[in-house]
Amino acid sequence: MQITVDSILEALKGVSIIYTYNGKSFDLPFIYSRLGINLAEHFTHHDLIYDCWRYNLYGGFKAVERLLGIERKLTEVNGYQAVRLWWRYVDYFDLDALNTLLEYNKEDVLNLKVLKERLIST
């Protein structure tokens, strides 16, 4: 499936709030630069990094996970390596790299939900 404005809007059908970690500074501008869609105009955006700062939780998402004891299976993969996995897939059709990247992204999404629940219940 190709990632397009229409496919993103279809995937987010029924969603009213998008939660991110540092999405205001990174994710949303990146998506806008690549696809020309400002998701903050279509959805309410809640960047959890600011909630973390309010509770003196600083650093990247993985650092905050560690501080809160949120477990991660793929501890050896970080954002830099995720980009390398992507290019291994693109350049060499390395399906193992793609599968690792998808698992890493899945953990990000699931752990973001855990983080949101912890911060909102606090």
pLDDT in tens, 59-68: 999 999 999 9
Q: How confident is the model at residue 120 (pLDDT cuts 50, 70, 90)?
A: confident
Sign of CA dihedral 102, 103, 108, 109: positive
Closest CA to 96 of 105, 106, 86: 86
pLDDT at 33: 95
Domain's final residue, options 31, 54, 77: 54
Domain's final residue, options 35, 54, 73: 54
What distance in Å separates the CA atoms of residue 95 and residue 74, rounded to the nearest whole number?
A: 17
Q: What is the mean pLDDT of residues 33-40?
A: 95
20, 45: one domain = yes
42, 92: one domain = no
63, 120: one domain = yes
Give the mean pLDDT of the chain. 95
At 75, phi and psi to the nearest 5?
A: -70, -20
What distance in Å separates the CA atoms of residue 88 and residue 18, rounded to the nearest whole number?
A: 29
Number of domains, the chain: 2
